[in-house]
Structure 1
Amino acid sequence: MASNIEWELYRAFLGVLREGSLSGAARALGVAQPTVGRHVAALEQALGLVLFTRSQTGLLPTEAAFALRTHAEGMENTAAALERTASGLRDGAAGVAGTVRISVSEVVGVEVMPVIVADLGRRHPALKVELVLSNRVQDLLQREADIAVRMTAPRQEQLVARRVGAIELGLHATPDYLHRRGTPATLDDLGAHALIGYDRPTPFVRQAAKALPGFTRDRFVLRTDSDVAQLALIRAGAGIGVCQVPLAARPPALVRVLPDSFTFRLDTWVTMHEDLRASPRCRVAFDALVAGLEDYIGVVRSAP
């Protein structure tokens, strides 16, 4: 097996793995289809492995391809992190510059981050922000992101972390919906309402469900695993669902129902790899996230 394999070969491999065909990978990578085919063939020859088999629907990954995927994605993350670091070093002479990659949950990314990022851009116009919206916890150690907003305390010692507070969740609906359907006075009354919730349970959903026994999938009239879609359904007056309390207070305000019967708090942390502590681009973004999220949650800061 060759010991010096170019990154471009792995890049083509990941492209085919994700797109399922040479043509799809070529479009995604912005190169010619024959180039992708040559790169995949060269990688197979260098590794001494068959990575794809042809079928009527495209190229099917072999077990070897699935086994290599995590390692290839690690290389991809490292290459991207290298480029972000280099851009900061290259452009940093003029102040805070370069690219910072931030991972946040869907709802926080859509509803909270735009104001934070806009303010960050006004103060540091040479800074570029890559915003990753995902409810999956991005691996900071593998450099999938520079900074992440997490709803659980990080356990890795190599991470710098700052707890910004707890975001409270509650059941909410629009005034119009409650006018039409009535306001539930007890948990049992929820059975007469259109409940909005998840389709497939996740570890977080299972944990949150403990705070409201009986709030299970079969009770939901409207089901979606997208937190953003759930919020949109609540705002549209489709039913009662779980919403972040600070978000519900924004106009047009939602009405909280059964606050004494259901409440859940998301412990919120801003984290980054300790190696980035001295990076100006990451430091200003980290501080901006902490301040912006504290404002959103309503944290009262003590006087210096």
Structure 2
Amino acid sequence: MADDIGWELYRTFLAVLREGSLSGAARALGITQPTAGRHVEALERALTVSLFTRSQNGLQPTDVALALQPHAEAMQSTAASLKRAASGHAGADGAGVQGVVRVSASEVVGVEVLPPVIAALRERHPRLIVELVLSNRVQDLLRREVDIAVRMVRPRQTQLVARRVGVIEVGLHARRDYLDRHGTPRSMAALAEHAVIGYDQPNAFIRDVSRTLPGFRHASFSMRADSDLAQLALIRAGAGIGGCHVAIARRDGLVRVLSKAFALRLETWVTMHEDLRASPRCRATFEVLADALEQYAR
């Protein structure tokens, strides 16, 4: 087995895994299909394993390829992190707040809360480049998938720097004209008579919430979406009653219902790896995000 395998071979391997074909991988990477094929063959020779089998549906990964995938993804995250770190020292003076910082936040926080914060951050530090990752998945800070993450759960890893910014409250809301047409529910049981907006596929967080809020279950939802932004759009359109940040609802003029029966209090943290504390680009971004989210959570 070779011990000097180039990163470009693993990069193509990951692209083929994700795209399912050499042509798709080539388009994604901006290389030719023959080059993508040569990369896969070279990696198979270097590792002395078979990574893909051909089928009518394209290239199918072998068990070996699936076992290698998380390691290759870790390499990809590290390579991207190295590039971001180097970007912070580029330029004539190599000092100050500059370079690329990658931030992860939930869909709603990333779209509804952070844009003006990032705009102000860029006004203050115009040489800073911000990559915003919208995901409800907890990004792995230890593997450097992102530099900074806004999380709705307290981080447990000792290698992380974390600042608690407060509690974001989620309540049930609807547009005024929906309630004028259909009435205002006075109990969780009364939601059965309403158009309720909720999740489609449950996850661990939703299962925990459902246990404490028995009236808010999958079977009772008239409209279902796993995207929090889609749910928020439905509420704003007057389609029914759904969960929304209290601060956003107040800003948009939405009406809260059943405030005593339904209140999710999401403890919110801004986190980054402790190795990034000395990075001007990460430190500046961390402080601005934390200060702004503290104000939002009040």
Give the TM bin, normalised by the shorter chain: over 0.9
* Aligned-partner residue type, residue 14 of structure 1: L
CA contact (8 A) 2:191 2:215 kept: no
C-alpha distance in structure 2 between counterparts of 1:5 and 1:94, whole Å: 34
CA RMSD of aligned residues (A): 0.9
C-alpha distance in structure 1 between counterparts of 2:181 and 2:212, whole Å: 27
Match of 1:37 in 2: 37
Per-residue deviation, 1:36: 0.6
Match of 1:184 in 2: 185
Unaligned runs of 5+ in 2: none
* Aligned-partner residue type, residue 193 of structure 1: H
* Aligned-partner residue type, residue 52 of structure 2: F
Per-residue deviation, 1:204: 1.0
Unaligned runs of 5+ in 1: 299-304
Per-residue deviation, 1:228: 0.6
Per-residue deviation, 1:214: 2.7
Match of 1:17 in 2: 17
Match of 1:301 in 2: none
Identical-pair percentage: 65
Q: How many residues align?
A: 297
C-alpha distance in structure 2 between counterparts of 1:52 and 1:112, whole Å: 43
C-alpha distance in structure 1 between counterparts of 2:288 and 2:196, whole Å: 36
Written as runs of structure 1 = structure 2, the 5 A alignment for 1:88-99 is 88-91=88-91, 93=94, 95-99=96-100
CA contact (8 A) 1:140 1:273 kept: yes
Per-residue deviation, 1:292: 1.2
Match of 1:210 in 2: 211
Q: TM-score, normalised by structure 2?
A: 0.98
C-alpha distance in structure 1 between counterparts of 2:263 and 2:199, whole Å: 17
Q: Deviations over 1:269-304 (max 9, x none)?
A: 000000000000000000011011112112xxxxxx
Match of 1:302 in 2: none
CA contact (8 A) 2:53 2:61 kept: yes
SS in 1 for 2:191: helix
C-alpha distance in structure 2 between counterparts of 1:127 and 1:185, whole Å: 50
SS in 1 for 2:155: coil
SS in 2 for 1:247: helix
Match of 2:155 in 1: 154
Written as runs of structure 1 = structure 2, the 5 A alignment for 1:114-193 is 114-193=115-194
C-alpha distance in structure 2 between counterparts of 1:164 and 1:153, whole Å: 11
1:241 aligns with 2:248: no
C-alpha distance in structure 1 between counterparts of 2:241 and 2:211, whole Å: 18
Q: TM-score, normalised by structure 1?
A: 0.96
* Aligned-partner residue type, residue 45 of structure 1: R
C-alpha distance in structure 2 between counterparts of 1:187 and 1:69, whole Å: 45
